[in-house]
């Protein structure tokens, strides 16, 4: 406990200890959440770059098919069509994997946000308990017995 926050009141100081511990947990949860957010953003960017690259390869393969069709060679058309099919399958697989991973990242971020909100509630409740304890009349405030 921070000595500056000690009141000397036996029913308040333990509540201050709890409030400070809950706030420290909240601070740590927020820091971890921010770090996880940075990592998630980097992974998201990587996944999107992989998707874009796969679709660029598909587009290039389609362009080669168009050129082969204009050329009229059945052999070139068949080879280009095979390249388009392979690039399309690759793009679909990469896209499906990226969507699944992005969904997992999103779910993890929502769970972390939920954890942060729960810890925030515990921290606020512990702080409220301190305020309530300080606002109750003490023995000297109750008058003579």
pLDDT at 57 > cutoff 60 = yes
CATH assignment of 35-135, given 1.10.12, 1.10.390, 1.20.120, 1.10.10?
1.20.120
CB atoms within 10 A of CB 119: 19
- The reply to whether the predicted model has a pTM over 0.85 is no
Q: What is the pLDDT of residues 89-135, one digit of tens each?
A: 999 999 999 999 999 999 999 999 999 999 999 999 999 999 999 99
* DSSP string over 60-127: HHHHHHHHHHHHT-HHHHHHHHHHHHHHHHHHHHHHHHHHHHHHHHHHHHHHHHHHHHHHHHHHHHHH
For residue range 81-99, list pLDDT tens digits in order.
999 999 999 999 999 999 9
What does the domain layout of the chain look like in residue ranges? 35-135
């Amino acid at each position: 406990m921070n000595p500056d926050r000690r009141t000397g009141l036996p029913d308040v100081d333990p509540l201050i200890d709890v409030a400070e511990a809950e706030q420290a947990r909240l601070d740590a949860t927020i820091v971890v959440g921010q770090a996880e957010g940075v990592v998630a953003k980097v992974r998201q960017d990587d996944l999107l770059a992989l998707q874009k690259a796969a679709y660029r390869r598909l587009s290039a393969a389609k362009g080669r098919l168009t050129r082969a069709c204009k050329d009229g060679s059945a052999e070139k058309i068949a080879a280009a069509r095979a390249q388009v099919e392979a690039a399309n399958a690759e793009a679909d697989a990469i896209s499906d994997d990226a969507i699944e991973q992005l969904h997992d990242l999103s779910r993890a971020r929502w769970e972390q946000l939920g954890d942060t909100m729960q810890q925030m509630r515990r921290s606020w409740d512990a702080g409220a308990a301190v305020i309530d304890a300080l606002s109750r009349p003490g023995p000297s405030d109750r008058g003579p017995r």
